[in-house]
Structure 1
């Protein structure tokens, strides 16, 4: 008989670890670009690359680790990822030049890619299939809180203290993650250790990617490119329109909107199906970007944050659950990795490409372009959703 309980000890501990990991990620992703401009005098595009190269490291890590989880066990993979994360967090103090900073951002991204793929897989493995959408919705609240608190504290600390204080804060959080790891019970590898070397040789494309997850992963890629423009350039945009003090609350409003809606959208996904949730989410996301492009007052900026939270915030968690639909239990790690690979690709390359556009079209027009990107994502989802929803594999 299926155990339908969600809130188990391991679920809570893993969610907290994931929250801390994402807190560090989002805290730095909104501050490292301004830091690069201030410290090294680089262009907006290069600053975007410094921000985005973190995600490129994450992407590469996911490509390597997705198929290994089922062979080595997700807990062992998580330990490796947390160790790399702690080392990278400490090395920020030694990043005395732009190349060293970029190299450490890349290493930090690898650590997050390994760790977050492991946490996402562990949660998917422990959730009952009939409540997986709801459970992932709850789990992803840890990321939502991080997307709000991280940028809020990042902007707050960077405006009041030197960046070394911010780096020290990140190192302390990473060490806490490492300590919490030992409260998670051991998980067995799906494949015996003796079969590991031969299995790694045979990974191939299908070993690295789950084909069933590709359609929604591609839609997620487009949505992630759009949201990367919000993450990486909201501080610059706010300074341009004289709303710097309000900008620090943008992600707080974003999180509040998602916190109140996410528990319901996860249940609706399980009960009503994919279209019932994804269509409104992408439409709201596009509307929020449209409002952001026309922002001229603080209340408009905060309202845009709330609408984008209802849109992208809910789409992201629902898309992750959709990526796992119809996937065999032993392929959950690869499916989770596939989803995050495309998400990370959008987050990683988006800031660099969009940074090239900013000097040409400006920030307001940039957000109009990103609105069109979301509309294209919606069109692709409509195309993909013509096939009927696949049942969850028990």
Structure 2
């Protein structure tokens, strides 16, 4: 086999991962400070601050759904460029101080732009990764977001202590400009398979959602819903149990666990299939949630972060790889947007829905309940995908034996 066709760390792969890293850093940087900004500058209520935080995810859903439909007709690199320009323009809106309504519109538009860029980078990355290293490559690509998830909140919270909100928005704008400049360096190969003329005509659900990616995307929705409780409420929980200092390192430990495991999990998945990664990940994720529910020391809190990283972090990249592998090359953009639509829906709507449950259960019991849900979702995975992969693998083994 030609080595150039199996090479993973190409210039284009590194550049696309860098763009994804920069855009995701901006997302996480702003998501931890924007609620405080809304309260501080516009005297927003708690529910308004939550809406300002979460409406970005709704925008991202809209952006992904629209661009997944048109990315092939527009062109993947052109979509990335247009999305990056729109992302910068909407970042500029944060510098305009009007009222809470204007901030909500800004967050919605910024989310749409981020959805466009995220779908483009994910689609391009999936295209340029060699078929024999698809899971490994997507795992490495998604590490750009994992790193951003650790660095972004740290930068955001650090800047709130040492500068003002205006400087935070200017810093975000600068990162966006760097990301835009970087898009000019990406070379996206032409697709060998082109879109059929009548395939995307008309207003059909299959023009916005990839049906083959739906089963695994639904599994992603459930586990992302569980993880959203950690992403949104870990600081509140840590304050309640007097571990706020340790909580500042929670996502750093999460990211380190993902970074250390990702090189192995991707290769194992490519060699042995998704089931070999997914089933252990469900157990580890559930164990992390239960441990988090009983955390009373810094060590147990951070250990829970490591387990959740090993579990959910690897499930996230594995399910994305499954969605891409199940889909024809010319519908890879739709598959990518479908995956992220369901991921974002779980992460975005989860905190809002869980907000009604927390007053009844408290944080500790909530994490136990969601740990059980995470474990039970392994059954859902088996029914929607796992048993098909097991049957396909058994068939291959029989053929090889014969």
What is the TM-score when the length of structure 2 is the normalising length? Answer: 0.90
The match for 1:49 is 51
Task: Please tell me whether residue 104 in structure 1 is matched to residue 92 in structure 2.
Answer: no
RMSD: 2.2
Matches within 5 A, 1:180-195: 180-185=182-187, 187-188=189-190
The match for 2:370 is 370
The match for 2:359 is 359
CA 1:319–1:95: 2 relative to 1, 3 Å: farther
| Alpha-carbon distance in 1 for matches of 2:228, 2:7 | 35
| Alpha-carbon distance in 1 for matches of 2:297, 2:37 | 26
Question: Is the 8 Å Cα contact of residues 30 and 231 (structure 1) preserved in structure 2?
Answer: no
Question: Which one of 139, 144, 168 corresponds to residue 170 of structure 2?
Answer: 168
Question: Is the 8 Å Cα contact of residues 44 and 100 (structure 2) preserved in structure 1?
Answer: no
The answer for unaligned runs of 5 or more in structure 2 is 394-402
Query: Number of residue pairs matched?
Result: 389
Give how far 1:88 is off. Answer: 1.6
CA 1:159–1:367: 2 relative to 1, 3 Å: farther
| Alpha-carbon distance in 2 for matches of 1:193, 1:341 | 22
Question: Is the 8 Å Cα contact of residues 51 and 232 (structure 1) preserved in structure 2?
Answer: no
| Alpha-carbon distance in 1 for matches of 2:263, 2:279 | 17
| Alpha-carbon distance in 2 for matches of 1:372, 1:43 | 33
Task: Please tell me whether residue 249 in structure 1 is matched to residue 224 in structure 2.
Answer: no
CA 1:134–1:186: 2 relative to 1, 3 Å: closer
Matches within 5 A, 1:1-394: 3-185=5-187, 187-188=189-190, 201-202=201-202, 204-384=204-384, 385-388=386-389
Question: Is the 8 Å Cα contact of residues 75 and 187 (structure 1) preserved in structure 2?
Answer: no
CA displacement, residues 170-200 of structure 1 (integer Å, 9 cap, x when unaligned): 11111110111111125557898996xx765
| Alpha-carbon distance in 2 for matches of 1:237, 1:22 | 25
Give how far 1:243 is off. Answer: 2.3
Give how far 1:45 is off. Answer: 4.2
Question: Is the 8 Å Cα contact of residues 284 and 307 (structure 1) preserved in structure 2?
Answer: yes
Give how far 1:303 is off. Answer: 1.2
Give how far 1:344 is off. Answer: 1.0
| Alpha-carbon distance in 1 for matches of 2:278, 2:97 | 41
What is the TM-score when the length of structure 1 is the normalising length? Answer: 0.92
SS of the residue corresponding to residue 183 of structure 1 reads coil
Residue range with higher mean Cα deviation, 207-216 or 10-19: 207-216
The match for 2:400 is none
CA 1:307–1:333: 2 relative to 1, 3 Å: same
Give how far 1:372 is off. Answer: 2.9
Residue range with higher mean Cα deviation, 348-357 or 113-122: 348-357
The answer for unaligned runs of 5 or more in structure 1 is none
Give how far 1:320 is off. Answer: 0.4
| Alpha-carbon distance in 2 for matches of 1:96, 1:245 | 35
CA 1:248–1:105: 2 relative to 1, 3 Å: same
CA 1:45–1:293: 2 relative to 1, 3 Å: farther
Give how far 1:377 is off. Answer: 2.0
Give how far 1:382 is off. Answer: 1.9
CA 1:239–1:112: 2 relative to 1, 3 Å: same
| Alpha-carbon distance in 2 for matches of 1:9, 1:386 | 37
SS of the residue corresponding to residue 387 of structure 1 reads helix
| Alpha-carbon distance in 2 for matches of 1:171, 1:208 | 30
